[in-house]
Homo-oligomer: A and B are copies of this chain.
Amino acid sequence: MARLVMKFGGTSVANMNRIRNVARHVKREVDAGFEVAVVVSAMSGKTNELVGWVEDASKLYDRSEYDAVVASGEQVTSGLLAIALQEIGIAARSWQGWQIPIETSDAHGSARIEAINGERIIEGFSRREVAVVAGFQGVHTASGRLTTLGRGSDTSAVAIAAAIHADQCDIYTDVDGVYTTDPRIVPKARRLDRVAFEEMLEMASLGAKVLQVRSVEVAMVHKVKTFVRSSLDDPSDPKPGTLICDEEDILEQQVVTGIAFSKDEAQITLRRVADKPGVAATIFGPLADANINVDMIIQVVSNDQKTTDLTFTVVTADFERAKSILEKHRNEIGFQDLQGATDVVKISAIGIGMRSHAGVAARAFKALADKGVNIRAITTSEIKFSVLIDKDYTELAVRTLHSLYGLDKA
């Protein structure tokens, strides 16, 4: 019998009416003959409420207690959905992370799944019972304490799918699939039928919010056939959504599959840094020690040939902390001036086709220049390139690249 994991996020389970709607989606798949595990998030707003209390309790809160508090949100939804399923005649029971168990590292607040024992869920299938799994949470076995994976339950769903050898994992969201770019910015954006794991990973990393990065990694490693589809569809007439799959399963490969953008970037420029060996280590070492990831880096030798200007980006949340760390190391590094900007955006084009096509990025630089868009920094890799530009040009730049690579719908 075919086995299916279905995942529903916070807006899909925001109240009892929506939970009943989710139950109807699940019933459809059970009626079609699937063995089903459903992974649910907390009701939307609940996680924020819980986090708010924790932050009110202490600014430097104990992250293991944070997990105890916050994991309760998914616990509630799992029980409610199990009842809603029973109410329409579907046998079901809720599973907390510690009951399965979903074993994780002890990195409270952002734990990584280390092992999932799928046996008890599979036993439930033999009783024709739907497993309703509380997403987002697990247990650190050695301490017996609750953990959470960082925001979201996509990763739980994909990891459960791998653990129970599911044939498919459907991630239900408030959009009906993965788009070539954000349709709110580019009305001509098209829904993609298929996206390769590698592309989806880049798109998620570079700002597309439809799937969480870690979930795509897990899906890719375990080859979990994953669909992104809409929970807003009529349960009796669902649309197929977008399949995330192996590159080989995609017949018509585009050069560029999608355009992503992230406003969550901040730029830091160090002016007139002494251009001597080892200076990069004095700059990036302390930032790495503070767990600050540096993304785009660009270095421009000054006119005097003895100093250099160094520009790089960090996520906005790390901006103030990064600046103060650099100021603290000012003497060691030896820069004249530190400048920062948060009014920037990183725009990226992603496509496996870039591997076999030269000059893809160059076309973008020209097209943006023609529109008067100034590029502050560039990074490229095998299947994507990114440009950092002024935030004001976001829509213009995204639309320009979307058209340039033939992504507009007819």
Contacts and interface: CB of A to CB of B under 8 A. Distances in A.
Contacts of A58: 83-84, 86-87
Interface string A81-122: 011101100000110101100000000000000000000000
B65 A83 contact: yes
A146 to B, nearest CB: 8
Contacts of A96: 68, 146
Q: Of residues A54, A71, A75, A78, which shows the largest number of chain B Cβ atoms within 10 Å of its Cβ?
A: A75
Contact of A76 (B16, B72, B84, B87): B72
Given A72-B75, A78-B68, A83-B65, A57 B144 contact: no
Q: Of residues A67, A68, A99, which shows the largest number of chain B Cβ atoms within 10 Å of its Cβ?
A: A68
A66 interface: yes
B83 A76 contact: no
A75 B83 contact: no
A248 interface: no
Interface residues of A, number: 38
Contact of A53 (B50, B57, B80): B80
A234 interface: no
A79 B64 CA distance: 9
Contacts of A84: 57-58
A61 B75 contact: no
A93 B76 CA distance: 22
Contact of A83 (B61, B79, B146): B61
A270 interface: no
A62 interface: yes
A21 to B, nearest CB: 13
A66 B83 CA distance: 8
Interface string A1-30: 000000000000000100110000000000
B80 A93 contact: no
A232 interface: no
A166 to B, nearest CB: 23
Q: Of residues A64, A72, A75, which shows the largest number of chain B Cβ atoms within 10 Å of its Cβ?
A: A72
Contact of A16 (B57, B80, B83, B98): B57
B57 A76 contact: no
Nearest to A101: B144
Contacts of A50: 76
A69 interface: yes
Nearest to A63: B83
A65 B94 contact: yes
A83 B57 contact: yes
A320 interface: no
Interface in A38-75: 50, 53-54, 56-58, 61-62, 64-69, 71-73, 75
A220 B80 CA distance: 37
Nearest to A145: B99
Given A68-B79, A69-B80, 9 more contacts: A16-B53, A19-B57, A54-B80, A57-B84, A58-B83, A58-B84, A65-B86, A68-B96, A69-B75
9 contacts: A19-B57, A62-B82, A65-B93, A66-B83, A67-B79, A68-B82, A69-B75, A69-B80, A72-B76
Interface of A: 16, 19-20, 50, 53-54, 56-58, 61-62, 64-69, 71-73, 75-76, 78-80, 82-84, 86-87, 93-94, 96, 98-99, 144-146
Across chains A and B, which 5 residue pairs bring their CB atoms closest together, nearest first?
A69-B79, A68-B79, A72-B72, A57-B83, A58-B87
